[in-house]
Amino acid sequence: MKDDPIAMVLDDLLKLDDIFACMVARRNMISVMPSGDSFKSEVHQIWDIIHRAMDDVFGVIGAYSPTGLGEMEFRLQDYEVLFYVFPDTESALVAIVPALANKGLLEVEMENARREILKIMEAQDKEKGITVNA
């Protein structure tokens, strides 16, 4: 994963103090994780329950992404989980942040990360000779 350009985008996100964890994921599958030491310690104890809740949210994303669902979020205890959907896919950029964080600033960086990842995905698909509608 070390040379994966998407992992490098996630590494950048994870460096922000208020991003406790981030990943590119879909239902029942985490596709890309940051290349370093996975998530910050704050989420370790709550990860199992968050992970289960995430899978339920991915059900909704799968159903509504084709109709233009762009973002989703839920709050669980002291954490908030943000989903930035990649257009017309069942995948999303996901981040776990403190519930009281200044979310606006994080949302700007989430959007920048989503745009970067989309570019990388498009380039990768082009290399493979696949055309995507994203």
Binding positions for other proteins, rule: CB under 8 A: 12, 15-17, 71, 84, 98, 100-112
| Distance, CA of 38 to chain centre | 13
- The sheet with strand 21-26 has its strands ordered as 29-32, 21-26, 92-98, 79-85, 71-76
Q: Measured from the CB atom, is 75 or 128 closer to other proteins?
A: 75
Nearest approach in angstroms of CB 80 to other proteins is 12
Which of the 8 DSSP states describes residue 31? E
Nearest approach in angstroms of CB 103 to other proteins is 7
| Strand-pair partners of 21 | 96
Q: Measured from the CB atom, is 58 or 84 closer to other proteins?
A: 84
Q: Measured from the CB atom, is 97 or 121 closer to other proteins?
A: 97
Which of the 8 DSSP states describes residue 67? G
Nearest approach in angstroms of CB 119 to other proteins is 12
